[in-house]
Structure 1
Amino acid sequence: MRAEALARRDGLDAVWRVEASLAMAEAAGLIDVEPGMVVSGYWPMRSEVDVRPLMFALMERGARLCLPAILDKTTIVFRELKRGAPLVEMGFGTAGPGEEAEVLDPTVMLMPLAAYDARGHRIGYGGGYYDRAIERLHDKGIQPRLIAVAFDCQLVDTVPNEDHDVQLGELLSESGLRAFPLSL
């Protein structure tokens, strides 16, 4: 399922992907942020939706931005992204703030994925980083707003899920921002 969804995404015209990513940035007005609210995004790799325009639109509305940083084979933290700060290679073709950047706990998470279903279950890239990071936030009493960012072509019939898998709250695609039904 992962490979098929990624092949469909990779098959999208590169110029169309850029235009769709820019159009998705217009959804910034649909994401409630208050000054100082922490929003995590991601540095796009391969053919992912480029969320940088959306992230910077949210920053213009007062959000503090952060990006995931891989600490080891099981753990990511979210380091603050500031304009003009140097970025370092994070692996997998991504970049992010270095060790000197402050570690933040996001209350809104823009999440990449390989595939998703209509119930709000996702297939990531197989590392489980986001599931564990969200669990750590829950342990701190933080219930982040989870917004997957993907193209419509990444939709699959049904993602196999287990009790520990985190259900997404919303999806932002070229078709707009939509909420998933709860606990299906």
Structure 2
Amino acid sequence: MPPISLPAPPNVSDDAAISDWRKNVRKELLAWRGSIDPATHGQWSVSVCNGMMAILAERPKATVGFYWPIQNEIDLRPVIVDHIARGGKAALPVVPTKAQPMIFHDWTPQAEMVPGFARIPEPVGTKAVPIHVMIAPLVGFDGRGYRLGYGGGFFDRTLASLAVRPLVVGVGFEATRLDDIFPHEYDIPVDIILTEAGMYPVTEKAIGDTYRAEGSSPPCFLSS
């Protein structure tokens, strides 16, 4: 894959410059992700799916809030279906309206789906459920666990609204790692970064999370 060409870092004292920089970086990263050839995308996706399976193996009864893949994101649905088959549960976000927290609703492969916010499929006819693990797609990320998403702020807004914070796993491609995404004050870092290069713990919750099988140990964290 060709290297990603990104604009120079902004002046950190200029909020408008930071906002413009994030928009331009988002555009470049999405264009790069869309250009990944299918064979490479498939190979990297297998690595990420294996890493997610290791995380969920330590939490076999967890309810996992995941995402419906769009714009060449990594498709974790096979991992989620396997998790359900092994006794776990899953949920997909429903977006009530713009600038509101997402609500996770119970999901199984048999759930009826309809186009929701931004035409992303959402389950209908299922109840809202609390989640123990949240999988957040990464357009880009930095080493502190701050994620660059699509700009709507849905994941951060949702995390801030939850009474009990789930374990948050950011999923993306290693090439989209940035030195700094210059997060906004309301941005919330993920607990684990998962890419095709391995799993990286970011917060103490990554290794201290209690919602795992009794007596099991934390997943093995890898490095490139």
Bin for the TM-score computed over the shorter chain: 0.7 to 0.9
The separation in 1 between residues aligned to 2:98 and 2:117, in whole angstroms, is 11
Give the aligned partner of residue 79 of structure 1.
105
Local SS of the residue matching 1:148 = strand
CA contact (8 A) 2:81 2:108 kept: no
1:181 Cα deviation from its structure 2 partner = 5.2
Q: Return the match for 1:23 from 40, 43, 47.
A: 47
Structure 1 window deviating more from structure 2 (124-133 vs 53-62): it is: 53-62
In the superposition, the TM-score normalised over structure 2's length comes to 0.73
Give the aligned partner of residue 89 of structure 1.
115
Local SS of the residue matching 1:153 = helix
The residue type paired with residue 8 of structure 1 is W
The residue type paired with residue 29 of structure 2 is A
Give the aligned partner of residue 170 of structure 1.
192
CA contact (8 A) 2:156 2:187 kept: yes
Unmatched 5+ stretches in structure 1 = none
Structure 1 window deviating more from structure 2 (113-122 vs 53-62): it is: 53-62
1:169 Cα deviation from its structure 2 partner = 0.8
Deviations 1:144-165 (A, max 9, x none): 1010110112111211123321
Q: Return the match for 1:131 from 153, 156, 177.
A: 156
Structure 1 window deviating more from structure 2 (84-93 vs 168-177): it is: 84-93
Give the aligned partner of residue 17 of structure 2.
none
1:171 Cα deviation from its structure 2 partner = 1.2
Give the aligned partner of residue 148 of structure 1.
170
Counterpart check, 1:179 vs 2:193:
no
Give the aligned partner of residue 45 of structure 1.
70
Deviations 1:112-167 (A, max 9, x none): 12110111111111111111110111xx2x12101011011211121112332101
Unmatched 5+ stretches in structure 2 = 1-24, 205-224
CA contact (8 A) 2:190 2:203 kept: no
**Could you tell me the percent identity over the aligned residues?**
27
Which structure has greater strand proportion? 1
Flag the structure with more relative contact order, 1 or 2, with Cα contacts below 8 A and sequence separation at least 6. 1
Give the aligned partner of residue 29 of structure 2.
5
The residue type paired with residue 10 of structure 1 is G
1:89 Cα deviation from its structure 2 partner = 1.0
